[in-house]
Amino acid sequence: MVIPYARQSVDETDVEAVIRALRSDWLTQGPEVSRFERAIAEYCGGHDAVAVSSGTAALHVAALAADLKPGKRLWTSPNSFVASANCGLYCGASIDFVDIDGDDGNISVPALKQKLDIAERAGLLPDVVVPVHFGGQSCDMEGLAALRERYGFKIIEDASHALGGRYNGRPVGECLYSDMTVFSLHPVKIVTAGEGGIVATNSNALAEKLRLFRTHGIVRPDEAEGTDPWLYRQVQLGYNYRLTDLQAALGLSQLRRIDDFVARRHEIAERYDVSFANTPVRPLARRDYAHSAYHLYVVRLPPAQRRAIFDGLARVNIRAQVHYIPIHTQPYFQAMGFKTGDFPVSEAYYASAISLPMFPGLTEADQRHVIDEVLRLAR
């Protein structure tokens, strides 16, 4: 039996929620979407949440709402999925990267400060910075917010891995140190809607923009205006990024178990931590300010052994994964002028990283099998 690196956790309550939605009068954007948005906003302690069709769509509408366009600049981490950078390219903005802290995989605040100082002298400061909460552990948001105050950029938290995580005891998504926070609802994430994304914000103006971009840029005049009841107006260019009621029903059902999901992930992480202590297998550092959602459990291995260990696990039906190939090394980005060697900490991290199985349904016996095989192969 194959042990994957991640798997959704769907129970009968989730199935029943989707069936109820399927039997209702609404399949696309109906009351379940609004309920889900309110529940996410309440859970995160923020003002508003806007549901869209994917995490990538969430990043795109957030970048648009932040007024990214040609002539503006977005900086993000190389240690992420390409969507964290592509959202800026979709808007016609230019892209650059900030190297990571090799111990935790998150964007390095000192590296960002150094790069901002250079950019300020050149008149090339970023308009938006997208820190990525890698693996579910929050970046140093106070440090990033202090730089935002000094240099004047907006912050969009890419918390695709981090729904259910906390920073300094407060929920990720509260947006105390950012303009917007993006979550993913992909099946391997903490909570799934089958597919989907969320943008959380405390700004009414940003929430209004997000909803316009989600639905073709169309508004419907209020009936009190006395207009024809079928009237709608496109006021800007938007997209069809709607989440369906079926997906929202699943997401809302899953959200009721999020704390249990995260607690279970912490149990699994603790067992890994204890088992790998004083071995060549090095977990990523935990920061005191962060309570990780543990979307991923990443370990560092000797680079010369990484591929052999990866293949050895596959031979015994353990499907590990690698997160992530540094974005700037992808052919599309190299064609823009980025090159290997530009962000050496991210590249060194990538050369040694493996993501081990991490999901609530991972049994203790299966985890022990994973641990034993990793330690056998890493000897």
Its pTM stands at 0.97
CB 112, CB 155: distance < 8 Å = no
| pLDDT, tens only, 78-116 | 999 999 999 999 999 999 999 999 999 999 999 999 999
3-state SS of 362-379 is CCHHHHHHHHHHHHHHHC
Instruction: Quote the pLDDT of residue 225.
Output: 66
Q: What is the CA radius of gyration of the chain?
A: 21
Q: Is the dihedral of CA 127, 174, 54, 132 positive or negative?
A: positive
Which residues, given as ranges, of the chain have pLDDT below 70? Answer: 223-226
Rounded Cα gap, residues 311 and 244, in angstroms:
39
Instruction: Quote the pLDDT of residue 229.
Output: 80
Instruction: Quote the pLDDT of residue 47.
Output: 96
| pLDDT, tens only, 246-280 | 999 999 999 999 999 999 999 999 999 999 999 99
Instruction: Quote the pLDDT of residue 99.
Output: 98
Domains of the chain, first to last: 12-255 (3.40.640.10), 258-378 (3.90.1150.10)
User: 3-state class of 317 per DSSP?
Assistant: coil
In order, the DSSP letters of 162-230 are -TT-EETTEETTS-SSSSEEEEE--TTSSS-SSS-EEEEES-HHHHHHHHHHHBTTEE---GGG---TT
